[in-house]
Amino acid sequence: MSIYDTIIIGGGPAGLSAGLYAARAGLRSLLLEKSFLGGQAITADRIENYPGFPEPISGLKIIQNMEEQARKYNLAIVVREVKSLEAEEGKFRIYLEGGLEGKLEPELENKLENGPENGGLLLSRTVIVATGASPIRLNVPGEVEFTGRGVSYCATCDGPLFRDREVVVVGGGNSAVEEALFLAKFARKVTIVHRRSALRADKILQDRAFQNPKIHFLWNSVVQEIKGDSQVRAVSLQDLTSRSLTTQPTDGLFIYVGSKPNTAWLPPAVKLDDKGFIITDERLSSSLAGLFAAGDCRQKPLRQIITAASDGALAGMMAYHYLQEKT
């Protein structure tokens, strides 16, 4: 069975950047993405702090540019979900599951079709984990039931559905305020509910939100329950100071209270911090030799598209140097 030099797991800005650098370095590289390229980056409608773009650009456009550039260097990109990973002496065994979308190179397609019951097996000398993170849920009554029926984690995806309606945004960081500003383009009223008495977002975003007549604020408050019938109709809020409960009518609830890394599938040999983020050294190497991590799935102080892309570039080159040192 043929073996790759590196397999990148995850197709966001970290994974695409890693694939670009690995492919340009001459490594036989494959990128696996379980659903669609871009991850959370494609939900950003307006990015103003990505170097080289003095005018705002959407996350979707950045990802499209990254994909086009990576493919120019013959990076193979396959839509397939990774089920598990095993480390052996000098190589990794990557087991796949789920349906296949798109066309594989013929020899890879044959290997997967004849693979084990879980859908296929790939071998690689190194692995770059760039699986990103997923939004954290509030875990309150009604959240699961109304997801897709008024509860959303992506204003860019669902904002236009709430034209001339009232919505609530939960959170106080950059993502929450950015999405509230986006929603204000469509909604009649946007209420930001934050558990503290001040926002944590960058000052420039705070200023825009405070100056927008459509955006209102409820401080020191948390969501206790989401109510409705076939759609969200209201949220029950608790004031953390007085402990009193109130009902806030709303047509939609957008939740931005943080994210959790997509790392539960990794073997125990990969050390994680107490929140599940992969612990790496300055070369982005994990505790498992030959396995690197890039982007939002690893332990680091700042999670932005630019830092994910930077991680990917470094991880791609570190995989190259790792293999050079082994020969």
**Catalytic residues, which ones?**
154, 157-158
Stated as kind and residue range, the H or E segment containing 222 is strand 221-228
User: What is the Cα–Cα distance from 173 to 178, expressed in whole angstroms?
Assistant: 9
Listed in sequence order, the residues at least 6 apart from 242 whose beta carbon sits closer than 8 Å to its beta carbon are none
For residue 141, with 0-12 CB atoms within 10 Å meaning exposed, 13-18 middle and 19 or more buried, which class applies? middle
Measured distance between the N- and C-terminal CA atoms of the chain, rounded to whole angstroms: 20
Cβ partners under 8 Å of residue 163, min gap 6: 186, 187
Q: Mind giving me the DSSP string for 122-143?
A: EEEEEEEE---EEEPP---TTH
* DSSP assigned state of 22: H
Q: CA-CA distance, 133 to 311, in Å (whole number)?
A: 15
Please list the residues that pair with 278 across neighbouring strands. 272, 298
